[in-house]
Amino acid sequence: MISVKKVDNKPLGPLERIYLLEVARGLAVTMRHFFANFFNRKGMPTIQFPEQPSPLPGNANLRTRHRLKIRADGSPKCVACFMCQTACPAYCIHIEAAEYPENPAEKYPAVFDIDLSRCVVCGMCVEACPEDAIAMDTRELPGGVEARSELLLVKSALLRNLPGEPSLKGAANRLANEYLKAGGEK
Amino acid sequence: MIAQFYQAHSDILLFAGAAAVKVLVLLNVIMGFTALLTLAERKVSALMQDRIGPNRASVFGFAFDGLFHPVADGIKMLVKEDFVPAKAEKLLFTLAPFFALVPVLALFAFIPFGDYVMVFGYQLDLQIAQMPLSLFFVLAFSGLAIYGVFLGGWASKNNFALLGAMRGVAQMVSYEVVLGLTLVGLMMIFGTAGLQDMVRAQGRLLFGFLPGWGVFYQPVAFVLFLTAAIAENKRTPFDLVEGESEIIGYFMEYSSMRFGAFMFAEFIEIILVSMLATTLFFGGWQVPWLYDTGFIFPWGSTLPLNHYLVAALQTGAFAAKTVFFSWFLLVVRWTLPRFRFDQLMALCWKVLLPLALLNILVTGAVLTALK
Amino acid sequence: MPKITIDGKTAEVAKGTTVLEAAQQLGVYVPRYCYHPKLPISGNCRMCLVEVEKSPKLLTACSTEAADGMVVRTDTDKVKTARRDVLEYLLINHPLDCPICDQAGECGLQDYYMEYSRAKSRFPNEDKVRRQKRRALGPHLVLDNERCILCTRCVRFCSEVTKTSELEVMGRGDRSYIDLKEGKALDNGYTLNLADICPVGAWTSRDFRFKQRVWFLKKTPTVCLGCATGCLVEAHHNKNTIYRLSPRPNAETNTWLCDRGRMTYKSVSAGDRLVKGIVKNGLIELEPALREAAARLDEARDAAAVLGSPWLSVEDNSALALLARALKTENYSFDFSAEQGIKDGILINKDPAPNTAGARQVKAAAGGLSFSDFAKRAASGRIKLIVAEARAAAALKDELKAGGAALVVFAVNRGEVPEGAQTTLPYASYFETQGTFVNYQGFSRRTRPSVEPPEGVRPLWAMLTSLASYSGLSLGLNSGDDAIRGIKK
């Protein structure tokens, strides 16, 4: 069903048709703001973003800068399955896979780049990840940099765990964790 | 030899030297002011919209609240790729920005920015070209700026640029007519078409206390003039020529400093319009009740002043009035929404033109009655 | 001629046809793992179970011969349940490590699970049978026994196709696994076919390992130029890089592809790939190299010679013939002969050059000397300069030494260039341009470009056109086909 709302467009009155009065009223509004802000610049709602961090609202579903979770031994949980790269609608993820000689997780990302200047912060990569290796919960807002190159996140910049985080989900991680555990018992 | 030549042509040489100095000083002041105006436009609009505006460009960490932005913009304009479309008319494409810029700069020659100063016994008129008919020259030269618009759009060999140029030409030609007609009333009242003479005439008092500024004689003409001047200047609400975000304008193929020249011309025109409004309607360099020898207030008291102080006060008053109008034009530009093209033309031909003609008629009738 | 009805569609099929093949003919798809059209029937995966009227149990379509009046249904609930249950059974011990499995994206388990099962596993992870993962076997393969569903396609391939029988199913029950027989090595020259026929990720290619996910790959049908067999292949490539070749099974020539043929794509981006010219062992830019070659050509003129090549396409050989015609020289030859025929009974040909027959076609149209005459002239010193393809020129080594003719050669890789070549020019390989090749059976087959050539490098006919124009000749070529048309004039 399409709901129709009738807007009652009043015809212009004689004073309005001359424009000048309305123009003057418009100028009054803008000038009021101009002078108020001119003499009280502190009263403006604008903040200086990268320097002045803006408080993030609550614990709402907030997608922020990516991170790659790590296992107990510091290796990335990511196994370079390319699911995030496949799911990414902005083509901002670039992965190059490599092989572990020993670890039964076999595969790891030798290169894992996220180009934040292309990222649309949609969270598809997090949804797609079968190993629970990528997350967007750092609560850091990307942007506000002086060079585009600063927006290219490489693997080392992405690797980080939040305090007290277990890392168990995913088949390859199961294998890797068993391997780690076995190594610990030896 | 040289001494002889100097003896024979001393007056002309002196005049030429003085003119050259005046041109240099005025051009530099105007250019500097234009650069600041580009920053002011962004700052004023920011303040109107509760923003802070540009404040990032810095030298050694000092930003001075954005004072370096005009410099940064200038450097950017100069180092960007100077792109010429493959099928453009190369010569005209290159010339068009000059056609836009040069007539506007030439117009400052006719603006009186003060009365006169005595320098070593030589009377230095504070106007570059003293002409009895300078108002007509102003109208003629501002008409030349149309070529910049049209050549720019046509030489780009781009249909959108050409459409923008045609819109621009139609608009400028139309408002040129109104602009000329609004000034007829002033010429009738002051009995002259020289700008300096008009300003001097505005030094008389009206009813013994009111400064005899044109706006008090011709309030309707002032509103019409301001409207037509903004339209001539191609700024919002009459910026259909450019229509930055949606209909694209005549300089869409221009980049780098060629585009910069168009933009600069627009800002210089703001100053020009402000100066014209000041000169024609707000007494130019006149300060109320200030005469050659000092203040003579309507209530009888006097304040004698040195000649140089008087000249400085007058030039300062002219600058202050110009700055005020420049600011006012910025505020107008950031307040009003854009007209539709048919509305623009209807406003010109159906409203402003009849009103301007009526204004002339009424002025003539009143003048005849008072005689 | 038995008449069989499958899902309401009736057809007469040849005697001995299985139900699965009959279904295929009728356009009914029956899922299968162990069945392969070119391998003997095994019937162990149970995926192809269908309901046959008057049969109390479901029957495997792959091993049941079609009988007259048979009525088969593949869409009943019973069949659907059977498929779901078979899949659940196969997945009980499957490690589900798809994220690190190269088969993901072209995996039988993934595809059928999505199509026929979609059931949640009732089997806890911890109880899965663990087998050996990741084990390099032979020069080209990796075996992961945990992923294996024991369809035995690989075992049957090794015993029936290559007849080398290296593989066997070891152990019993759910502990069974595929292994090498004692004393054998998996190096029969066709091993990468195992990675192709393996329906899951148990056999994967070491060459392709972790290079790309298969769903990123684009597929371009082309021809293998490894030998005169001219197998139809598919180049899998992404972002201007070829990652692997796989066979395009066809009735005429090949179902499989040999390991050597699969590696031919490597020359395209090999380290010794020529992207510039070489003048006397020194790399120089393309333009000066072309000018140098043209200068040599101008010096020699009617003492110049043109030699075709069985490694070049018909188009490029024709362009060479046109160059000879433009030079007004008599010294040109497209006469190549080699013993042809399958060497090992599977695919590999006795003739290592892909286009001997094609070169002879050019000879038929353009004429020219016989190869022995050409060699004699080269040896006698009557020829001052030879324009040729690198591998064809290599055959004239001794004659060149004797006669002292300078050599201008075209090569894709630096390794092909014979010693003593005066100027070497690069050309676009046949993964980068079109070319017609005639295989030992006489089939004309066209390669198709799957990647772009390196910057500046063009097909051989285009390089020849530039070379000719630098020495003031016009070949009038705008495409390879122009060359073929040109020599017929």
Mean pLDDT of the region C100-122: 92
Of C247, C298, C260, C262, give the one whose Cα is nearest residue C408: C298
For an interface test with A, the pick among B44, B45, B52 (most A C-beta atoms closer than 10 Å) comes out as B52
Q: Which chains touch C (3 or more CB pairs under 8 A)?
A: A
Which pLDDT belongs to residue A185?
42
Q: Is residue C215 part of a domain?
A: no
Whether C and B touch, i.e. at least 3 CB pairs below 8 A, reads as: no
Our CA-based measurement puts residue A144 at a distance from the nearest CA of chain C, in whole angstroms, of 32
Q: Note the Cα B347 to chain centre separation in Å.
A: 22
Range of the domain at C66: 3-75
Contact A86 C215 (CB under 8 A): yes
Quick one: pLDDT band at residue A164, thresholds 50, 70, 90?
A: low
Q: Note the Cα C390 to chain centre separation in Å.
A: 23
- For C215, which residue in chain A has the nearest alpha carbon? A86
Our CA-based measurement puts residue B235 at a distance from the nearest CA of chain A, in whole angstroms, of 15
User: For C129, which DSSP code?
Assistant: P
Query: What Rg, from alpha-carbon coordinates, does chain B have?
Result: 22
- For B53, which residue in chain A has the nearest alpha carbon? A46
Q: Which of C45, C75, C105 is the last residue of a domain?
A: C75
Contact C100 A81 (CB under 8 A): yes
Query: Comparing A68-77, A108-117, C247-256, C442-451, which segment has the lowest mean pLDDT?
Result: A68-77
Chain B positions touching A33 (Cβ under 8 A) are: 47-50
Pairs across A and B, CB distance < 8 A: 37
Q: Is residue A44 part of a domain?
A: no
Axis-axis angle for helices C356-366, C480-488 (nearest 10) = 50
**Tokens matching residue B139:** 């109208």
What is the per-residue DSSP string for A166-177?
A: ----SHHHHHHH
Which pLDDT belongs to residue A183?
67
Residues 460-479 of C with CB under 8 A from A: none
Mean pLDDT of the region C32-59: 93
The CATH code of the domain that includes A128 is: 3.30.70.3270
DSSP, collapsed to helix, strand or coil, labels residue C444 as strand
Our CA-based measurement puts residue C129 at a distance from the nearest CA of chain A, in whole angstroms, of 14
Question: Taking every pair of C-alpha atoms in chain B, what is the biggest distance, in angstroms?
Answer: 72
Quick one: pLDDT band at residue A165, thresholds 50, 70, 90?
A: low
Q: Is residue C147 part of a domain?
A: no
Q: Is residue C320 part of a domain?
A: yes
Q: Which residue has the higher pLDDT, B170 or A50?
A: B170
Judge contact between A121 and A78, C-beta under 8 A.
no
Q: Which of C75, C96, C119 is the last residue of a domain?
A: C75
Contact B332 A38 (CB under 8 A): no
Judge contact between B42 and B54, C-beta under 8 A.
yes
Which pLDDT belongs to residue A171?
63
Contact B48 A23 (CB under 8 A): no
Query: Comparing A154-168, B91-105, B264-278, which segment has the lowest mean pLDDT?
Result: A154-168
Contact C100 A86 (CB under 8 A): no
Of B50, B332, B334, the CB nearest to A45: B50
Chain B positions touching A32 (Cβ under 8 A) are: none
Q: What is the pLDDT of residues C265-283, one digit of tens each?
A: 999 999 899 999 999 888 8
Mean pLDDT of the region C176-196: 93
Contact B334 A30 (CB under 8 A): yes
Contact A26 B334 (CB under 8 A): no
Residue C260's identity, in one-letter code, is R
Residue A31's identity, in one-letter code, is M
Beta-bridge mates of residue B302 = B296
Quick one: pLDDT band at residue A16, thresholds 50, 70, 90?
A: confident
Which pLDDT belongs to residue C251?
92
Q: Is residue C115 part of a domain?
A: no
Chain B positions touching A31 (Cβ under 8 A) are: 48, 331
Q: Is residue C389 part of a domain?
A: yes
Our CA-based measurement puts residue A141 at a distance from the nearest CA of chain C, in whole angstroms, of 29
Q: Is the pLDDT of residue A62 over 70?
A: yes
Q: Which chains touch B (3 or more CB pairs under 8 A)?
A: A
Q: Is residue A72 part of a domain?
A: yes
Q: How far apart are CA B189 and CA B220, in angstroms?
A: 14
Q: Are strands C277-279 and C241-247 parallel, antiparallel or unpaired?
A: unpaired
Q: How many domains does chain A have?
A: 1
Q: What is the pLDDT of residues A69-86, one digit of tens each?
A: 988 778 899 999 999 999
Our CA-based measurement puts residue C148 at a distance from the nearest CA of chain A, in whole angstroms, of 16
In three state form, how does the secondary structure of chain B look? CHHHHHHHCHHHHHHHHHHHHHHHHHHHHHHHHHHHHHHHHHHHHHHHCCCCCCCCCCECCECHHHCCHHHHHHHHHHHCCCCCCCCCCHHHHHHHHHHHHHHHHHHHHHCCCCCEEEECCEEEECCCCCCCCHHHHHHHHHHHHHHHHHHHHHHCCCHHHHHHHHHHHHHHHHHHHHHHHHHHHHHHHHCCCCHHHHHHHCCCEECCCEECCHHHHCHHHHHHHHHHHHHHCCCCCCHHHCCCCCCCCCCCCCCHHHHHHHHHHHHHHHHHHHHHHHHHHCCCCCCCCEECCEEECCCCCEEECCHHHHHHHHHHHHHHHHHHHHHHHHHHHCCCCCCCHHHHHHHHHHHHHHHHHHHHHHHHHHHHHHC
Q: How far apart are CA C371 and CA A104, in angstroms?
A: 58
Range of the domain at A148: 67-161
Which pLDDT belongs to residue A186?
39
Q: What is the pLDDT of residues B332-355, one digit of tens each?
A: 999 998 888 888 899 999 999 999
Which pLDDT belongs to residue A137?
85
Quick one: pLDDT band at residue B302, thresholds 50, 70, 90?
A: confident
Mean pLDDT of the region B110-131: 85
Residue A16's identity, in one-letter code, is E
Chain A positions touching B51 (Cβ under 8 A) are: 44, 46
Q: Is the pLDDT of residue B50 over 70?
A: yes
Chain B positions touching A23 (Cβ under 8 A) are: 332, 335-336
Q: How far apart are CA C409 and CA C307, in angstroms?
A: 10
Of C166, C206, C203, give the one whose Cα is nearest residue C186: C166
Total Cβ atoms within 10 A of residue C311 = 25
Q: How far apart are CA B183 and CA B281, in angstroms?
A: 10
Q: Is residue C125 part of a domain?
A: no
Q: How far apart are CA C317 and CA C319, in angstroms?
A: 5
Q: Is residue C359 part of a domain?
A: yes
Residues 45-84 of A with CB under 8 A from C: 79-83
Which pLDDT belongs to residue A153?
93
Contact A46 B50 (CB under 8 A): yes
Mean pLDDT of the region B57-74: 87
Contacts of B233 (CB under 8 A, 6+ apart): B266, B269, B270, B273, B329
Contact A34 B331 (CB under 8 A): yes
Q: Is the pLDDT of residue C392 over 60?
A: yes
Our CA-based measurement puts residue B307 at a distance from the nearest CA of chain A, in whole angstroms, of 36
For an interface test with B, the pick among A30, A32, A40, A146 (most B C-beta atoms closer than 10 Å) comes out as A30
Our CA-based measurement puts residue A53 at a distance from the nearest CA of chain C, in whole angstroms, of 38
Q: How far apart are CA C334 and CA C321, in angstroms?
A: 8
Mean pLDDT of the region A159-176: 69
- For A31, which residue in chain B has the nearest alpha carbon? B48
Q: A73 phi and psi, to 5 degrees?
A: -90, 5
Q: What is the pLDDT of residues C60-87, one digit of tens each?
A: 999 999 999 999 999 999 999 999 999 9
The answer to whether residue C277 neighbours chain A at the CB level (below 8 Å) is no
Q: How many domains does chain C have?
A: 2
The CATH code of the domain that includes C34 is: 3.10.20.740
Q: How far apart are CA A55 and CA A139, in angstroms?
A: 10
Most confident of the following: A148-152, C96-100, C222-226: C222-226
Whose structure tokens read 């360099």?
B285
Q: How far apart are CA B137 and CA B131, in angstroms?
A: 9
Q: How far apart are CA C464 and CA C478, in angstroms?
A: 11
CA angle A58, A63, A69 (to 5 degrees): 110
Complex prediction ipTM: 0.84
Q: Which of C54, C75, C96 is the last residue of a domain?
A: C75
Q: Is residue A130 part of a domain?
A: yes
- For A130, which residue in chain C has the nearest alpha carbon? C99
Of B178, B175, B185, B177, give the one whose Cα is nearest residue B218: B185
Q: How far apart are CA B178 and CA C397, in angstroms?
A: 92
CA contacts within 13 A on the Cβ side of B301: 1
Q: A94 phi and psi, to 5 degrees?
A: -130, 120
Whose structure tokens read 């600058």?
B319
Mean pLDDT of chain B: 89
Q: Is residue C95 part of a domain?
A: no
Q: How far apart are CA C348 and CA C107, in angstroms?
A: 29
Quick one: pLDDT band at residue A169, thresholds 50, 70, 90?
A: low
